[in-house]
Structure 1
Amino acid sequence: MNAFIAFFKKEMMESIRTYKFYILAVVFVLFGFMNPIIAKVMPDLLGSLLPDGMTITLSEPTALDAWGQFYKNGSQMGIVILVVMFSGIMANEFAKGTLVNILTKGMARPTVIFSKLAAASIQWTISYLLCIVITYGYTAYFWTMAGVENLFISLLGLWIFGELMISFVILGGILFRSLYGSLLFTGGLVVAMTILSIFPQTSSFNPVTLSTMNLALLTSGYEVSKFLSASLVTIVGMIISIFASVVVFNKKQI
């Protein structure tokens, strides 16, 4: 446990010193402000861009529009930034050779993986929660939450998907020992899941459902049971990824 805590602190301090944590948090804080504000001003902005004499009728923005922006930013740019920020979490250790001294002094290899997973997860969770709190506060200020269903489940789903991405970049970094290998590995898996989502019958066990069907869940346009099923599969996939990381890392020559 002492080794885990020490390495966990080292990971957190490194993220702070290299500004990774700050960048991730600031990006999601900005998203938090942008989500409701963009939803609020979008009708007026579109109206101002129309040629003189042309008019279109737009419905008044609602809380659903703000959460729509939340999932658009979070599931696209947000997840991409998360993956890029942590793509070197294992790859950089191989490139710099910093693990040699640590492992030769007796630290268990699984401790390295779990410490890195914990540090990345905490940074992701804090950043994500900041975005949620700011978005919720401004959305509640501008509108009522009428018509917004299953918000907690929907938010939890995207968080779980982010955790899966972290487990993928860790496994990719161990397998290919490079930042680009980690990115390509994670990107390849996401592309595969996205292609699989073309077939509607796969949605109840496809992890990408947690980043694409959130808004539909808020309007009860998607079944909660299918979303929960996809969440369970995603958690299992994350566990398998971490287990595979431990197995491969134990056999990997440093």
Structure 2
Amino acid sequence: MRAYLAFTKKELTEYTRNFKLFLAIALFALLGIMNPLTAKFLPDLLGNFMPKGITILIAEPTNLDSWIQFFKNGTQTGLFIIVILMSGMMAKEYENGTLINMVTKGLPRRTILFSKFTGALFLWTVSYWLCFFITLGYTLYYFPEGRTENLALSVSSLYLFGVLLIAILLLGAVLFKNAYGPLLLTGGFLMILFLWNLFPEAVKWNPLILISRNMDMLQGTLLLEELRNSLLMTGLMISSALVAAVQFFNKTAL
């Protein structure tokens, strides 16, 4: 446990030194501010920029529009940011050969991997929930009369999918020893999830539901009972990716 805590502390220190922590926090905070502002002022902006004589009817924005922006930016931008920042989580150690000294001095390989995973998870957790609470605060300010259902379920689903991608990235980092392999593996994994939807009977097990139907959760048309299969599959995939990463890393020449 002492070795795990020490190596995790090293990871977090590196995130501050290479500005990844600052960059993630800044970008996610910006997204958190933009979500409700876009929902609030986009209709006015569209109206001002439309040519004269052309009128478009836009419904009065509500708190749901703010959360639409949150999930849209979270899946299209937030996850992309984390994947890019974490793609080289082990490439530098392989390149510099620093892992050899650690392992020869008795540091268990699984400790290295779990510390890497913990550091990446910390970065994702802090950034994501900061974005959420900023969005929540501004949404309550601009749309005080708005009501939402299952908000915790919808935002937790997106967060869990981010954890899954981090686990896949860690597996890719072990397999390819560079920053590009994890990106390719993650891209291939996402492609498989999209192809998964071609089989109607298996859709309910697809983790992709966690980031594609958040508004259905928020509006109460998709309940926790209907998500159990995809949540279970996501948990199994996270565990399998971590176990596979440990197994491959134990057999990998450093």
TM bracket, shorter-chain basis: over 0.9
Matched, 1:31 2:31: yes
- After TM superposition, give the deviation of residue 223 of structure 1 in Å: 3.8
Q: What is the distance in 1 between the residues matched to 2:128 and 2:51?
A: 39
- Larger mean Cα displacement after TM superposition, 226-235 or 178-187: 226-235
1:145 is displaced (CA, Å) by 6.0
Deviations 1:32-73 (CA, angstroms, capped at 9, x unpaired): 000000000111111112110111111000010000000000
> Structure 2: any 5+ residue segments left out of the alignment?
none
Q: CA deviation at 1:242?
A: 0.2
Cα distance in 2, alignment partners of residues 62 and 203 from structure 1 = 31
In 2, Cα distance between equivalents of 1:70 and 1:43:
17
Please identify, of 69-78 and 197-206, the stretch whose mean Cα deviation from structure 2 is larger: 197-206
Question: Which amino acid in 2 is paired with 1:139?
Answer: T
1:113 corresponds to which residue? 113
Which runs of structure 2 are paired with 1:1-254 in the superposition (5 Å)? 1-144=1-144, 146-254=146-254
What is the deviation of 1:179?
0.8
Take 1:107 and 1:33, find their aligned partners in 2: how far apart are those partners?
Answer: 42
CA distance in structure 2 between the partners assigned to 1:46 and 1:203 by the alignment = 37
- The one-letter code sitting in structure 2 at the alignment partner of 1:242 is L
Q: 1:92 to 1:226 in 2, by over 3 A?
A: farther
SS in 1 for 2:207: coil
The unaligned stretches of length 5 or more in structure 1 are none
Q: Hey, what's the Cα distance between the residues in 2 that align with 1:53 and 1:121?
A: 52
- Is the CA contact 1:174–1:249 (under 8 Å) kept in the aligned structure 2? yes
Alpha-carbon RMSD: 1.3
Structure 1 residue ranges (4+ consecutive) displaced by more than 6 angstroms after TM superposition: none
Deviations 1:199-237 (A, max 9, x none): 444332111111111112111233432223212211110
The Cα shift of 1:13 comes to 0.4
TM-score scaled by structure 2? 0.96
How many residues of Structure 1 are paired with residues of Structure 2 in the alignment?
254
CA distance in 2, matches of 1:145, 1:177: 51
Q: CA deviation at 1:136?
A: 0.3
User: Residues 165 and 186 of structure 1 are in contact (CA less than 8 Å); yes or no, is this contact kept in structure 2?
Assistant: yes
Distance in 2, Cα, partners of 1:145 & 1:15: 40
Bigger drift between 87-96 and 158-167 goes to 87-96
Q: Partner amino acid for 1:244?
A: A
Q: Structure 1 pair 223/112, CA: closer, same or farther in 2 (3 Å)?
A: same
Alpha-carbon distance in structure 1 between the residues aligned to 2:232 and 2:125: 19
Return closer, same or farther for 1:145/1:189 CA change in 2, 3 Å cut-off: farther
In 2, the alpha carbon distance for the partners of 1:213 and 1:16 equals: 34
**Partner secondary structure for residue 54 of structure 2:** coil
Q: How many angstroms does 1:147 deviate by?
A: 4.3
8 Å Cα contact 1:31/1:131 also seen in 2: yes
Q: Which amino acid aligns with 1:226?
A: E
Per the normalisation by structure 1, the TM-score is: 0.96
